[in-house]
Amino acid sequence: MSAPDRPAPDAAAPDSAAPDHRRWLQLTLDLAREAQQAGSAPVGAVLVDASGHEVARGRNRVGEAQTPEHVGKASVAHAEMDLYFSVGKLENPQSLTLYTSLEPCLMCGGASALLGVGRVVWVTDDPWGGSGRLIAWADHPAMQDTEVLPTPDPDLERQGALLFAPEARRAFPDEGWALWRKRYPTETADL
């Protein structure tokens, strides 16, 4: 999958040279592993402010029971939605960065843009379920002010692909699995 077109950074958007992407992306992978251990798809997300402080974190909870604190056993219980439901109203969303272990789907990518999040950074492309397969991030009017940085760390990208590939094989139709095998041939070879 080619990198999405990126709009010019907005003056209010976070400074793309400043954050420690690796630190936050590693945390998303840790949260993805927690989700997997709890019986959900391995996806994690962290929201970080412009000062580099964690605002909220979430993980996929689709395979888990619903609790008063978290939406569970629902198709909307994705890691990013878990994060957004827990944080409530976002203050200065244009200054926030969403880090996620997997390219956001249309629901999560759309929610991020509609909430006005300034930047979205992910570890691993999702050639089947990611927003970029259906619409270029920068082509959607709601996403014009959202900077998108896909897979900035090749080592973490490989870890993320190895972690999510079994879920992609299990959950996606043949067409989706074929796209995963094409995008990540080494990481899917033994599945």
Higher-pLDDT residue of 157, 3: 157
Assign 87 to helix, strand or coil: helix
- In 3D, which of 1, 87, 82 has the Cα closest to residue 35? 82
Buried b (16+ CB within 10 A) or exposed e, 22-40: eebbbbbbebbbebbeeeb
Give yes or no: 91 in active site.
no
Q: What is the pLDDT of residues 53-70, one digit of tens each?
A: 999 999 999 999 988 888
Tell me if 95 sits within 8 A of 14, measured CB to CB. Answer: yes
Tell me if 99 sits within 8 A of 127, measured CB to CB. Answer: no
Tell me if 73 sits within 8 A of 65, measured CB to CB. Answer: yes
Range in 85-94, 96-105, 129-138, 180-189 with the lowest mean pLDDT: 129-138
The answer, yes or no, to whether residue 47 has pLDDT greater than 60, is: yes
State the Cα–Cα distance between residues 69 and 118, nearest whole angstrom: 26
| Model confidence, pTM | 0.88
Catalytic residue among 34, 64, 69, 80: 80
The pLDDT value recorded for residue 176 is 96
Cβ atoms < 10 Å from Cβ of 134: 11
Q: What is the pLDDT of residues 112-170, one digit of tens each?
A: 988 999 999 999 999 999 988 877 777 777 777 889 999 999 999 999 999 999 999 99
Tell me if 137 sits within 8 A of 109, measured CB to CB. Answer: yes
